[in-house]
Amino acid sequence: MDALVLVEHDGGAADEVSLQALSLAAAYADGAVNAVVIGAGADEPAGLGGVATAFVAELDGEAFAPDAWAAALCGLIGRLAPGVVIAAGSDRGNDVMARVAARLDLPLAANCTAAQPTGDGASVTRVRWGGSLLEEASLVGSPALLTTAPHAFAEAPRGGGAAIERFTPALEDGDLLVSVREHVDAGGGGVSLADAAVVVSGGRGVGSAEAFAVVEELAGLLGAAVGCSRAVTMAGWRPHSDQVGQTGTKIAPDLYIPCGISGATQHMAGCKGAKHLLAINGDAAAPIFASADYAVIGDLHEVLPAISEAIRKARQS
């Protein structure tokens, strides 16, 4: 059985989450793993570990157009008859695969953390309810349509050697109606929240937009990205692009430092992937401490400047 993987990329270089989808494909399929690559920079796909053939879609316009991408995938599925089609469980991956499922009238299992083939489809474990439960489910249909929960699988090694085959998907007028028209820079220009090795987040306990200066100061010293809770974005203190959680960005840093954040399940859904968690909160009974590897119980307006000062002193000596 062959696998077909939708590979998201940055100027042709496969994204980490797509390498994770490729890794599931290699474990799942006993035949070839092929990839489909679409969008700006797709001409020169790179780093496709273990891929036999990369099918590069030639589309009018290079912007993300979910129906056009779904049409491209469906055309290839018809031609190659893979046993499984996998994409990363990213916003784009889930968007495109939902449209593929609707076009083929097949079920889709989104955000899988494990998947094995069965006689008539797949047996999967997948993340539900913002990460608060894992569901074991049977998916009946062929091909099995899956997306992978971010960071649930190791990345396939980046490698070359894939044969490149270009194809022009057959599109209908409506397929380009929905497409990205403009990218607006979120500003900041610093470390990307989703990929940062260290994230320092502030919650309602920070108190105001201006008071985030202490969070930014520590983040700057650590080369970290600044995150926040939804209470903060709702108050208008930080943009939604900084929000960590179920309805924000999912992060998987080596170190996560939530400050003045209570630890609601919807927030924890976004930082489950953190390798170490250092919580700073004034309330010893705050739920965040149940998930913490290290805890500082105290006023963040005293604790954060003290940590920043200690880092500066340590670097001077």
Q: What angle do CA 186, 191, 194 make, to 5 degrees?
A: 80
Grouping H, G, I as helix, E, B as strand and the rest as coil, residue 73 is helix
Distance from C-alpha of 42 to C-alpha of 166, rounded to nearest angstrom: 10
Of 22, 97, 231, 252, which lies in the binding site for ligand FAD, with binding defined by CB under 6 A?
Answer: 231
240 belongs to the binding site for ligand FAD (CB under 6 A): no
205 belongs to the binding site for ligand FAD (CB under 6 A): yes
Of 257, 277, 300, 307, which lies in the binding site for ligand FAD, with binding defined by CB under 6 A?
Answer: 300
* Bridge-based pairing state of the strands 53-57 and 84-88: unpaired
Distance from C-alpha of 224 to C-alpha of 218, rounded to nearest angstrom: 8
Of 34, 53, 111, 262, which lies in the binding site for ligand FAD, with binding defined by CB under 6 A?
Answer: 262
282 belongs to the binding site for ligand FAD (CB under 6 A): yes
Nearer CB in complex with ligand FAD: 111/246: 246
Of 39, 50, 245, 253, which lies in the binding site for ligand FAD, with binding defined by CB under 6 A?
Answer: 245
* # binding residues, ligand FAD (CB under 6 A): 27
Q: How far is the CB of 72 from ligand FAD (least distance, A)?
A: 32
The answer to whether the peptide bond before residue 169 is cis (omega within 30 degrees of 0) is: no
Distance from C-alpha of 15 to C-alpha of 21, rounded to nearest angstrom: 10
Nearer CB in complex with ligand FAD: 190/207: 207
Of 49, 242, 246, 272, which lies in the binding site for ligand FAD, with binding defined by CB under 6 A?
Answer: 246
DSSP for 233-245 reads: HHTTSS-GGGBBS
Q: Using the structure block, give the residue that is written with the tokens 């940590």.
A: 307
Nearer CB in complex with ligand FAD: 142/291: 291
267 belongs to the binding site for ligand FAD (CB under 6 A): yes
Which two three-digit tokens encode residue 173?
């007028």
Q: Please say whether the beta carbons of 148 and 86 come within 8 A.
A: yes
Which of these ranges, 105-113, 139-147, 163-171, 294-302, lies near ligand FAD under the rule CB under 6 A? 294-302
131 belongs to the binding site for ligand FAD (CB under 6 A): no
Nearer CB in complex with ligand FAD: 111/229: 229
Nearer CB in complex with ligand FAD: 73/228: 228
Beta-carbon contacts of residue 148 (< 8 Å; ≥ 6 apart): 17, 20, 21, 24, 86, 87, 88, 89, 111, 112, 113
Which residues here bind ligand FAD, judged by CB under 6 A?
Answer: 203-205, 229-232, 243-248, 260-262, 264, 266-267, 270, 281-283, 286, 299-301
